[in-house]
Structure 1
Amino acid sequence: MTKVLVATEKAFAKVAVDGIRKIVEGAGFELALLENYTEAADLLKAVADADALIVRSDKVTAQVLEAAKKLKIVVRAGAGYDNLDLEACTKHGVVAMNTPGQNSNAVAELVVGFMVFMARLKFSGKSGSEIRGKSLGIHGYGNIGRIIARDAIALGMKVYAFDPYVKKAEEGVELLASLDELYSKSQYVTLHIPATAETKLSVTHALVSRMPKGACLINTARKEVIDEDGLLKLMAEREDLRYVADVAPDKLDEFNKFGDRVFFTPKKMGAQTSEANINAGLAAAEQIVKFIKNGDKTFQLNK
């Protein structure tokens, strides 16, 4: 019998696990759970006889894949997949997938919340500003970017976007030809790019310095895309610049010296809603069933 392992250092909500079980067992497969584990050895042991694996932010390394002799597919329940070693997956003949779009609304709402939070000076009691009438630049116009754009337009913001892979934007969004132009025109910039060889350290001092007075940079993507030394230098030079993220920087103590001008959530919060938790888990289970039964590789990452 095909065995599907759900391995989560931070467990899915019970309703999500129940839904995953219904999908997996309804397909005639066995479901195994490894929840809230604390040792890597636990994962290595559990994955030994698994045919399929569902993870959240858990790291699927070359060592894990070496231990998983029967593994055919691993699905990351979420959009980001830098916790999957794609090269090692390919080497071991394992199909790697993510579940794009399932967390998009949750991340988009967090971005809107961040904008309001920073505009109102972190609810300090001081007089802040409104986001209506302000300009928003979306760096990476994918599933999340499109939802943010619709929300921002509804709130009365002027919306720009830049994405080299997108040729046409939705009504009300002005698609710009360069990052320089995006940052120059945007009082708020929100990042929605993966951490790749091309994008790591790409949000630089020179780029962010183009933003208007009173600007705010929002990062719900990956910390690796930020040139932290450059951003720290710029924040020291510009007392008007603000930075907010749901992913703490490596140089957290240095950023925190800027006090009210920065804010970082204790852990990555973009996808932390019950709805996103459920949707991503169910999508992962459905993708596994379709792959095992029909060879469906729609969301394969290591092509």
Structure 2
Amino acid sequence: MNILMIDSQRVNYVDPGEYAPGSAHQPCRLEVTSRPSDEQLARADGIIAFHSVVIDAPLVARMHRCRALVKATIGLDDVDVEALSAKGILCSNIGSVGAEEVAEHAMALILFAQRKLLDYARHTRQGGWSWRAHTGKVKACADTVLGLIGYGATGRALARRAAALGYRICFYDPWVERCVEGIAQGGTLESLLETADVVSLHLPLNPDTGHLMNDARFSRMKHGATLINTARGGIVDTDALLRALQSGAVSMALLDVVQEEPAPPQALIEHERVLLTPQPRFTANALWSS
């Protein structure tokens, strides 16, 4: 059995070659590449593709023996599932991969914004040294409503962390009827946007969620709320977000993903109330060692 692992980031995996000789399992041959050749794709019985690899119809057409493909990510928005199905190739993702790490990153972004760390850092960089620079603008966790749009593995992991700090938590997820942990209150998307001081996105990207955060939704948000996106860039309409920042509807946006990756628009990069990170949530040692 030939297994092909595709990773465009050139992570240095150890090629085990053939393993389990003489066992009840069929020996496998593992190949690792960042740019699969026609020969590699043609002889692969199974394929493992990492998060930055796009599985489109032309790539699928080069698969002749493949019977199963695993995308080592939560989402399948960059996989042509129909093309795979047409060739009889089973497709799967890893539904909870990195959920804890993404939740930790989101929690760090929330606290960064809540404690006005960017403003205080700018204040001291300009020669100031006064905690009074933002007196009254820092809201206590217990007085803050955190709204989670999407309550899957990552949303729940963030809810547990935020609850420990005293946040009041609400969520919207059409697939989740109630919060079994008892730490978050479900409701409508409209009610969440109107009441949440911080809105954090934890959704897959699909036709229903693309540009979910648009002009209409930003106008429904509690004025001056903070937006956190560690999910998928395409969920947020960048132009609408810039307009919401300009109007003050959104006080700050902390984004680990943008729809224009890997080259975000300069208007986002240079905006004084936007913090961009290049998905460092996946650098946790525990995640890579697992």
TM score, norm. by length of structure 1: 0.80
Q: Contact (CA 8 Å) 1:24, 1:31: kept in 2 or not?
A: no
How far does the alpha carbon of each residue in 1:272-299 deviate from its partner, in whole angstroms, 9 at most, with x for none? 32322343xxxxxxxxxxxxxxxxxxxx
1:103 corresponds to which residue?
98
1:132 corresponds to which residue?
141
2:220 match: secondary structure: coil
What percent identity do the matched residue pairs reach?
25
- Superposed, 1:166-185 pairs within 5 Å as 166-169=176-179, 170-176=181-187, 178-185=188-195
Find the structure with the greater CA-based Rg.
2
Quick check: which one's helix share is greater? Answer: 1
Gaps of 5+ in 2: 124-130
Task: Give the AA of the match of 1:121.
Answer: L
User: Could you tell me how far 1:66 is from its partner in structure 2?
Assistant: 1.2
1:264 aligns with 2:276: yes
Q: Contact (CA 8 Å) 2:194, 2:222: kept in 1 or not?
A: yes
Gaps of 5+ in 1: 280-303
How far does the alpha carbon of each residue in 1:8-37 deviate from its partner, in whole angstroms, 9 at most, with x for none? 1124564xx5799878997433232324x3
> Which of 16, 20, 28 is the equivalent residue of 2:26?
28
TM score, norm. by length of structure 2: 0.84
Q: Contact (CA 8 Å) 2:225, 2:249: kept in 1 or not?
A: no
Q: Distance in 2 between matches of 1:20 and 1:214?
A: 56
Deviates more, 1:129-138 or 1:103-112: 129-138
Q: Distance in 2 between matches of 1:25 and 1:241?
A: 62
How far does the alpha carbon of each residue in 1:201-229 deviate from its partner, in whole angstroms, 9 at most, with x for none? 11112212333344210111111111222
User: Could you tell me how far 1:270 is from its partner in structure 2?
Assistant: 3.5
Q: Distance in 2 between matches of 1:18 and 1:217?
A: 42
Task: Give the AA of the match of 1:269.
Answer: P
Q: Contact (CA 8 Å) 1:6, 1:31: kept in 2 or not?
A: no
1:63 corresponds to which residue?
58
Q: Contact (CA 8 Å) 2:56, 2:79: kept in 1 or not?
A: yes
- Superposed, 1:192-207 pairs within 5 Å as 192-207=202-217
Task: Give the AA of the match of 1:262.
Answer: V
Q: Contact (CA 8 Å) 2:244, 2:250: kept in 1 or not?
A: no
Q: Contact (CA 8 Å) 2:163, 2:169: kept in 1 or not?
A: yes
Deviates more, 1:202-211 or 1:164-173: 202-211
1:79 corresponds to which residue?
74
How many pairs are equivalent?
269
